[in-house]
């Protein structure tokens, strides 16, 4: 682990498994409460007693160096990401590694232009003139807590803007992918010149360390990505010290295929999207909404497309889909599929575990009831639920019939009609005819119970800034 600039071990360790084989990748340290306290104390000291929070040039240099170091060590990180997260090699050339590294570049560059000051108009008050301005300051010590599915993306989308803002950070790795995040800590300690205490990286197998961080009086802000259930617990825990809380939570996004869309291309998109990283993506469209009169035709096309999803060894460059992260996650997915069938959905294809490793077949359920569990709850597996709608209004109503609001997609030959429909769906991102909204400069986050706040882009930096308003009498 990285605590106060030093790489430290712990007396106890836990095992990290390769989900494609079920074999051990390595041992990760189990942070104790004392390790967690030491990490928070180091971050507090670095924030309160060093120039980190105010020296923008130093921060830009450190981010620039971090970007270079990540580029230099990209291939080691790639192999580790494939082995520990089960990420297919082809995905590491996108959202699993190469794009996340560019988030660091984006924030290093943003610092050159970003103004931490905003002047307000002079005002008259009590017969005097007052000059006023706003300064944006770092929010303080940040606890960053991440899940397992995109460990590089999630760590860097928190770390880079937090550091750019002048915050110091305690980053807690996911219990399922600790080694990837610890490797990041090692690179920071050994190659970046980021001052001691500014970044601390810890790992543990259970929730206790995360709970300690979210209630800690010396932590000013929490940046959390994970399930909605954990997000609720964190919000509650943070309330005792009234911390700033940023949450990126679950999703149950809908892809709407309008009656004028090309069904074959929409079917292809739907099939490959839901199998991306074996469905372990918060913003994936896991509900496919189709016009009732075209339900059977589109279901057949999606089933055909799913048959082309190559799954297996994630290290093979031709593999599109790798395994689920654990046996526990695979059992959860399988249980939901079985309950969906028991509730009346039709299992068109898939629905089976594949050994060795934690693989699950690409799975298609049709005639799904929009109020049933499979249409309402996040699966986090390669499972697509097809729901029929009557008209555009009905499609909007079904798309919005969820506690979540992270993303969505629409396919139509008429772009204006598609955009108009997208505006009526309450979600933080939207793809029109396959458009890609995801990138370092694009704010990402959820409406409703999918979260609070935005990550990446200028909005992602603003999440880590406080505003202080000044006024002086000038005449």
Strands 465-473 and 253-257, bridge-based pairing: unpaired
**Closer Cβ to ligand NAD, 349 or 429, answer by number:** 429
The two structure tokens encoding residue 72? 């230099």
CA-to-CA distance for 68 and 104, rounded, in angstroms?
Answer: 9
Closest distance to ligand NAD from the beta carbon of 167 (Å): 18
Secondary structure of 345-406 in HEC code, one letter for each residue? CEEEECCCEECCCCEECCEEEECCCCCCHHHHCCCCCCEEEEEEECCHHHHHHHHCCCCCCC
- For this structure, is 248 an active site residue? yes
Q: How far is the CB of 35 from ligand NAD (least distance, A)?
A: 15
For ligand NAD, the closer CB: 80 or 170 = 170
Nearest approach in angstroms of CB 233 to ligand NAD is: 4
Query: Taking the complex as a whole, how short is the minimal distance between the CB of residue 231 and ligand NAD, in angstroms?
Result: 7
Provide CB contacts within 8 A for 435, sequence distance 6+: none
Considering the complex, state which of residue 168 and residue 407 has its C-beta at the smaller distance from ligand NAD: 407
Nearer to ligand NAD by Cβ, of 147 and 381: the residue is: 147
Distant-in-sequence, close-in-space partners of 153: CB < 8 Å, separation ≥ 6: 95, 96, 99, 100, 103
Instruction: Tally Cβ neighbours within 10 Å of residue 191.
Output: 15
To ligand NAD, the closest distance from the beta carbon of 30 in angstroms equals 12
Other CB atoms within a 10 A radius of the CB of residue 11 amount to 8
User: Helices (H) and strands (E) in the chain — how many of each?
Assistant: 16, 23
Which has the closest alpha carbon to 220: 46, 75, 341?
Answer: 46
**Nearer to ligand NAD among residue 86 and residue 147 (C-beta):** 147
The residue (of 111 and 324) whose beta carbon lies closer to ligand NAD is 324
Interacting residue ranges for ligand NAD, rule: CB under 6 A:
145-149, 172, 174-175, 207, 210-211, 214, 225-227, 230, 233-234, 248-251, 282, 378, 380, 406, 446, 451
- Alpha-carbon distances, residue 77 vs 86, 148, 353 (angstroms): 13, 15, 29
- Least CB distance to ligand NAD at residue 226 (A): 3
Choice among 84, 248, 377, 463 that is catalytic: 248
The residue with its CB nearest to ligand NAD is: 210
Active-site residue list: 248
């Amino acid at each position: 682990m990285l605590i106060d600039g030093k790489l430290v071990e712990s007396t106890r360790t836990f095992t990290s498994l390769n989900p494609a084989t079920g074999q051990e990748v390595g041992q990760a340290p189990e942070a104790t409460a004392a390790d967690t306290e030491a990490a928070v104390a180091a971050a507090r000291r670095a924030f309160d007693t060093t120039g980190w929070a105010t020296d923008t040039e130093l921060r830009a240099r450190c981010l620039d160096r971090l970007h270079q170091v990540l580029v230099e060590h990209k291939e080691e990180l790639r192999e580790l990401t494939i082995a520990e997260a089960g990420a297919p090699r082809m995905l590491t050339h996108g959202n699993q590694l190469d794009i996340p590294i560019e988030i660091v570049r984006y924030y290093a560059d943003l610092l050159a232009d970003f103004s931490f000051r905003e002047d307000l108009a002079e005002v008259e008050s009590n017969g005097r003139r007052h000059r006023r301005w706003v300064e944006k300051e770092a929010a303080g010590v940040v606890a960053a807590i991440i899940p397992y599915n995109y460990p590089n993306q999630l760590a860097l989308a928190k770390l880079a803007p937090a550091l750019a803002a002048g915050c110091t950070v305690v980053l807690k790795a996911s219990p399922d992918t600790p080694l990837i995040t610890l490797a990041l800590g090692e690179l920071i300690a050994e190659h970046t010149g980021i001052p001691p205490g500014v970044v601390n990286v810890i790992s543990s197998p259970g929730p206790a360390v995360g709970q300690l961080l979210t209630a800690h009086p010396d932590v000013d802000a929490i940046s959390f990505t994970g399930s909605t259930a954990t997000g609720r617990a964190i919000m509650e825990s943070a309330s005792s010290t009234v911390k700033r809380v940023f949450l990126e939570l679950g999703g149950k996004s809908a892809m709407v295929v309008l009656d004028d869309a090309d069904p074959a291309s929409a079917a292809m998109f739907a099939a490959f999207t839901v199998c991306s990283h074996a469905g372990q993506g918060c913003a994936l469209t896991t509900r496919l909404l189709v016009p009732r009169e075209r339900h059977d035709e589109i279901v057949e096309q999606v089933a055909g497309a799913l048959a082309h999803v190559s799954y297996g060894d994630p290290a093979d460059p031709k593999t599109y889909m790798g395994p689920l992260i654990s046996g526990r996650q695979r059992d959860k997915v399988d249980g939901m599929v079985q309950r969906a069938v028991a509730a009346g959905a039709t299992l068109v294809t898939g629905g089976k575990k594949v050994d060795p490793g934690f693989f699950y077949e690409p799975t298609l359920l049709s005639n799904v009831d929009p109020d049933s569990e499979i249409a309402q709850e996040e699966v986090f597996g390669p499972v697509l639920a097809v729901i029929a709608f009557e008209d555009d209004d009905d499609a909007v109503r079904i798309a919005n019939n969820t506690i979540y609001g992270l993303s969505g997609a629409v396919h139509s030959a008429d772009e204006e009609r598609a955009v108009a429909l997208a505006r009526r769906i309450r979600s933080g991102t939207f793809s029109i005819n396959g458009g890609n909204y995801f990138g370092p400069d694009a704010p990402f986050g959820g409406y409703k119970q999918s979260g609070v706040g935005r990550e990446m882009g200028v909005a992602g930096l603003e999440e880590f800034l406080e505003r202080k308003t000044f006024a002086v009498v000038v005449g």
